[in-house]
């Protein structure tokens, strides 16, 4: 069992290292499987709708899943509607910070959907089916330029390689190659735009980093260790509390005193992180512990607190759900 846990922990560490890249590779494989096994163009007036559904709906599903799997989403929303200081509570000053975190979550959740769309365009199967059913006279005329007149009227049947007396297989192949070339050009343009944007955002965020490269690496290591220890301590603490309650129930005796963090304390360590140049806090738990005599008061806002620079946004992305919380 211990060996299995070691392998599992190693797999989790590798998953954190590869991150969204692994999900992107899985998306490539999923797209190929869908295009070969599941997708069958109807070769009718349904072409455009059918092709666009396969091109965009899986991307939408991946986008929603990206929100569901993001730690930021649940750190932002949990208790938000009932806390007076939540994103939609009386303290409206929290709204810009919440909107910024929502924007970062959206960007993170968009990686896999854009990967799906890019790979699907490079493959060209979905786009080919969709555009042969595109109800636009201008587009149909442009695709069928220099080809028999029947090309425009029979364009939707081309993905199934249905031919007539004047539309030979080479003519159909030429039209499909032209449409597929459009898809691949769009795919490479989309990939180039995403890569350029990612490079610019990364460079700007690192240039605005308030700490050095070495400290940034240390910060990430600290958060991993804090998450691991929090999970271990939470399991141990929960087990002790459960044993105490079960023993009290079955032995019909008063429970022994047992201290556990209050609701307010749990709330304080679950807040969105705010960077303070005057303090060197690596997480909300670190900030709470260092607050000393101020622990019983809110650590939500301290003089000098500002939204963390984008280079430090990985703090709120730590998956606290895996920590047993």
**Per-residue confidence at 218, pLDDT binned at 50, 70, 90?**
very high
Could you read off the pLDDT of 230-277 as tens digits, one per residue?
A: 999 999 999 999 999 999 999 998 988 999 898 888 888 888 887 777
Q: Are 311 and 195 found together in one domain?
A: no
State yes or no: pLDDT of 16 exceeds 60.
Answer: no
Averaged pLDDT for residues 23-51: 80
Could you read off the pLDDT of 152-175 as tens digits, one per residue?
A: 888 888 888 876 667 788 888 899
In a domain, 81, yes or no: yes
pTM, rounded to two decimals: 0.78
Q: Are 111 and 226 found together in one domain?
A: no
- % of the chain at pLDDT higher than 90: 29
Q: What does the mean pLDDT of the chain come to?
A: 80
Q: Are 182 and 226 found together in one domain?
A: no
State yes or no: pLDDT of 136 exceeds 70.
Answer: yes
Do residues 268 and 284 lie in contact, with contact meaning Cβ atoms separated by under 8 Å? yes
State yes or no: pLDDT of 7 exceeds 50.
Answer: no
In a domain, 284, yes or no: yes
Domain that holds residue 56: 19-207
Give the pLDDT of residue 30. Answer: 73
Give the pLDDT of residue 187. Answer: 95
Residue from 288, 270, 268, 269 nearest 279 by CA: 288
Number of domains in the chain: 2
In a domain, 13, yes or no: no
Residue from 195, 29, 39 nearest 114 by CA: 195
In a domain, 6, yes or no: no
State yes or no: pLDDT of 118 exceeds 80.
Answer: yes
Give the pLDDT of residue 323. Answer: 39
254 or 31, which is more confident: 254
Q: Are 168 and 233 found together in one domain?
A: no
Averaged pLDDT for residues 285-303: 66
Q: For residues 212 and 124, what is the distance between their CA atoms, to the nearest angstrom? A: 44
Q: Are 228 and 186 found together in one domain?
A: no
- Among 207, 223, 244, where does a domain finish? 207
In a domain, 8, yes or no: no
Could you read off the pLDDT of 145-154 as tens digits, one per residue?
A: 888 878 888 8
Averaged pLDDT for residues 1-29: 49
- Among 207, 232, 256, where does a domain finish? 207
* Buried b or exposed e, range 251-270, using 16+ CB within 10 angstroms: eeeeeeeeeeeeeeeebbbe
Give the pLDDT of residue 167. Answer: 78
- CA dihedral over 42, 45, 50, 52, signed as positive or negative: positive
- Among 163, 180, 207, where does a domain finish? 207
Give the pLDDT of residue 321. Answer: 41
Give the pLDDT of residue 281. Answer: 86
Give the pLDDT of residue 302. Answer: 53
12 or 27, which is more confident: 27
State yes or no: pLDDT of 63 exceeds 90.
Answer: yes
Quick one: tokens of 224? 């991993």
Do residues 309 and 104 lie in contact, with contact meaning Cβ atoms separated by under 8 Å? no
State yes or no: pLDDT of 124 exceeds 50.
Answer: yes
Question: Residues 35, 38, 42, CA angle at the centre, nearest 5°?
Answer: 90
């Amino acid at each position: 069992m211990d060996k299995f846990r070691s392998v599992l922990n190693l797999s989790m560490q590798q998953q954190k290292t590869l991150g969204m890249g692994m999900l992107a590779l899985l998306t490539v494989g999923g797209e190929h499987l869908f295009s070969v096994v599941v997708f069958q163009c109807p070769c009718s007036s349904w072409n455009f709708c059918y092709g666009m559904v396969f091109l965009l709906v899986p991307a939408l599903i991946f986008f929603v899943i990206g929100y569901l799997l993001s730690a930021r989403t649940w750190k932002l929303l949990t208790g938000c509607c009932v806390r007076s200081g939540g994103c939609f509570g009386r303290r409206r000053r929290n709204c810009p910070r919440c909107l910024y975190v929502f924007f970062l979550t959206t960007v993170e959740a968009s990686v896999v959907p854009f990967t799906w769309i890019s790979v699907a365009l490079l493959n060209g199967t979905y786009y080919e089916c969709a555009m042969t059913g595109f109800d636009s006279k201008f587009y149909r005329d442009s695709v069928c330029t220099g080809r028999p007149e029947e090309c425009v009227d029979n364009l939707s049947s081309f993905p199934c390689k249905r031919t007539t007396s004047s539309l030979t297989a080479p003519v159909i192949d030429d039209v499909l190659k032209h449409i597929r070339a459009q898809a691949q050009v769009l795919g490479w343009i989309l990939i180039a735009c995403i890569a350029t944007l990612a490079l610019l955002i990364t460079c700007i965020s690192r240039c605005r980093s308030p700490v050095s490269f070495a400290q940034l690496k240390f910060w990430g290591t600290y958060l991993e260790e804090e998450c691991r220890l929090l999970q271990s301590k939470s399991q141990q603490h929960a087990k002790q509390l459960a044993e105490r309650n079960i023993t009290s129930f079955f032995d019909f005796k008063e429970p022994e005193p047992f201290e556990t963090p209050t609701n307010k304390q749990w709330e304080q360590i679950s807040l969105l992180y705010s960077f303070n140049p005057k303090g060197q806090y690596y997480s909300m738990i670190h900030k709470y512990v260092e607050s000393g005599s101020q622990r019983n008061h809110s650590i939500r806002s301290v003089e000098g607190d500002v939204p963390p620079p984008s280079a430090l946004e990985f703090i709120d992305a730590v998956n606290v759900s895996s920590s047993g919380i």
